[in-house]
Amino acid sequence: MARIVMKFGGTSVADLNRIHNVARHVKREVDAGHEVAVVVSAMSGKTNELVGWVENMPKVAGSNAPFYDAREYDAVVASGEQVTSGLLAIALQSMGINARSWQGWQLPIKTDNAHGAARILDIEGADIIRRMGEGQVAVVAGFQGLGPDNRLATLGRGGSDTSAVAIAAAVKADRCDIYTDVDGVYTTDPRIEPKARRLKKIAFEEMLEMASLGAKVLQVRSVELAMVHKVRTFVRSSFEDPDAPGMGDLLNPPGTLICDEDEIVEQEVVTGIAYAKDEAQISLRRLADRPGVSAAIFGPLAEAHINVDMIVQNISEDGSKTDMTFTVPSGDVNKALKVLSDNKEKIGYDVVQSEAGLVKVSVIGIGMRSHAGVAASAFRALADKGINIKAITTSEIKISILIDGPYAELAVRTLHSAYGLDKS
């Protein structure tokens, strides 16, 4: 007997037939004698619709700033998961399974106060464990918890993955299965590159980079939690027949295992390619090259909660002036430009230029630590396709390259084949 947390994403619970199918997956594990807790997302598209309602509330005459109270945003957008958790509990009960739905505030899943992007602080696992011992299946609404202000708090988009891994850690589950619309983690997004291959295993560090750099198959925070708490996490498909051979395999279920790097025997140099759309570039021209200039730029941006990513600085020929270029999410460009113009005197730049709609493509692999020339191959491959590089950043296990938006798919495919990822 094992203890398993099963999480089902939005496409897996998109309608009543799919919820019925999810219930069959749960029944398989219950019938095998396992203790099971389930986490669900909202029906696919639902959270976007709810966010849209909040953001499109008609504005007060004379104001064009979108206004909403983050606590009420959470009250609205968390409702999608309330519906699916209840529906799945009903589907399970109709199959004779003792199931009960739980909202984040009922367990409770305690979070911090960052409404809209809250972090889980604590989950009391004892009660869920006791109920599991009595044969009850808890169906938990993902994406939500209870803040210190005693109000609903949501965990940021894609946050049900994090709910699932956090619950798995709290109840000391043997496994956390993330069921989605693909049958595992691929070498790149299979929607962009049909030749992408499914990985049998991927190291925590690599999955963390893939997720941070745009592969939305797992929320970044869920990978961090799985790594810290050593949760055995699998990504697998809910669209396969729940009773197909091997689906109930305890140690090697079909899918991708996220694990420690020493569990991976044959480590490739490059494991995967990720991409993030909607990046924007801002350049400050002819800054005085003096100590404190970076602090004068990035301090106020940080205070305005603007996430700055790639930073490139050029020194002019005589060394007295510098240009600073950096990227921010496209949605934050106007806010960033306002912060920069408010601080123009203090920063001391000549002109500011900006460009939105860019894409960051990244090459990821632990094997890069011990191999030279990985970045050079990426630059060569992109050059051969006439793709211009606007900025580059590297770390020990990744290279990120900023390019024009329309080249995103070509760049992903080009890099994918440049590292032989399409060949098994």
Residues that bind ligand ASP (CB under 6 A): 9-10, 41-42, 47, 80, 142-143, 157-161
CB 73 → ligand ASP: shortest distance, Å? 13
Of residues 198-217, those binding ligand ADP (CB under 6 A): 210, 215-217
Q: How far is CA 283 from CA 137, 317, 326, 329, in A?
A: 54, 18, 7, 14
CB-side exposure of 124: number of CA atoms within 13 Å? 11
CB 157 → Mg ion: shortest distance, Å? 8
- Structure-token match 């970076």, residue found: 294
CB 59 → Mg ion: shortest distance, Å? 31
Nearest residue to 288 (alpha-carbon basis) of 215, 222, 348, 342: 348
Single residue of 80, 147, 158, 365 touching ligand ADP by CB under 6 A:
158
Interface size with Mg ion, residues (CB under 5 A): 2
Q: Which of ligand ASP, ligand ADP, Mg ion, none lies near 159, with the C-beta cut-off 5 to 8 A by kind?
A: ligand ASP
Q: With beta carbons less than 8 A apart as the criterion, state whether 34 and 5 touch.
A: no
Cα 336 from Cα 129, distance rounded (Å): 47
Q: Is 10 in the site for ligand ADP (CB under 6 A)?
A: yes
Residue of minimal CB distance from ligand ADP?
9
Stretch that binds Mg ion, among 6-14, 119-127, 321-329, 389-397 (CB under 5 A): 6-14
Count Cβ atoms within 10 A of the Cβ of residue 191 and give its class: 0-12 exposed, 13-18 middle, 19 or more buried: exposed
CB nearer to ligand ADP: give 10 or 125.
10
CB 228 → ligand ADP: shortest distance, Å? 21
CB nearer to ligand ASP: give 83 or 192.
83
Residue of minimal CB distance from Mg ion?
158
Q: What mask of x and - would describe binding to ligand ADP in positions 74 to 113, judged by CB under 6 A? A: ----------------------------------------
- By DSSP bridging, strand 137-141 and strand 175-180 are unpaired
CB 46 → Mg ion: shortest distance, Å? 13
Nearest residue to 164 (alpha-carbon basis) of 257, 39, 259: 39
Cα 68 from Cα 74, distance rounded (Å): 10
CB 191 → ligand ADP: shortest distance, Å? 4
Nearest residue to 78 (alpha-carbon basis) of 168, 148, 165, 157: 157
Single residue of 80, 104, 142, 158 touching Mg ion by CB under 5 A:
158
Q: Which of ligand ASP, ligand ADP, Mg ion, none lies near 157, with the C-beta cut-off 5 to 8 A by kind?
A: ligand ASP
Q: Which of ligand ADP, ligand ASP, Mg ion, none lies near 421, with the C-beta cut-off 5 to 8 A by kind?
A: none
Q: How many residues does the chain have?
A: 424
Q: Which of ligand ASP, Mg ion, ligand ADP, none lies near 47, with the C-beta cut-off 5 to 8 A by kind?
A: ligand ASP
Cα 30 from Cα 92, distance rounded (Å): 11
Of residues 350-409, those binding Mg ion (CB under 5 A): none
Cα 299 from Cα 339, distance rounded (Å): 10
How many other CB atoms are found less than 10 A from the CB of residue 375?
15
Q: Characterize 247-279 residue by residue with b for buried, 16 or more Cβ atoms within 10 angstroms of its Cβ, and e for exposed.
A: beeeeeebbbbbbeeeebeebebbbbbbbbeeb
CB nearer to Mg ion: give 274 or 374.
274
Q: Which of Mg ion, ligand ADP, ligand ASP, none lies near 182, with the C-beta cut-off 5 to 8 A by kind?
A: ligand ADP
Of residues 164-203, those binding ligand ADP (CB under 6 A): 180-182, 185-186, 188-191
Q: With beta carbons less than 8 A apart as the criterion, state whether 365 and 206 touch.
A: yes
Q: Which of ligand ASP, ligand ADP, Mg ion, none lies near 220, with the C-beta cut-off 5 to 8 A by kind?
A: none
Cα 52 from Cα 54, distance rounded (Å): 5
Q: How far is CA 53 from CA 47, 64, 67, 72, 326, in A?
A: 10, 16, 12, 12, 32
Nearest residue to 71 (alpha-carbon basis) of 54, 53, 48, 47: 54
Q: Is 11 in the site for ligand ADP (CB under 6 A)?
A: yes
Interface size with ligand ADP, residues (CB under 6 A): 20
Q: What mask of x and - would describe binding to Mg ion in positions 8 to 37, judged by CB under 5 A? A: -x----------------------------
Of residues 216-235, those binding ligand ADP (CB under 6 A): 216-217
Single residue of 30, 40, 41, 73 touching ligand ADP by CB under 6 A:
41
**Contact set with Mg ion (CB under 5 A):** 9, 158
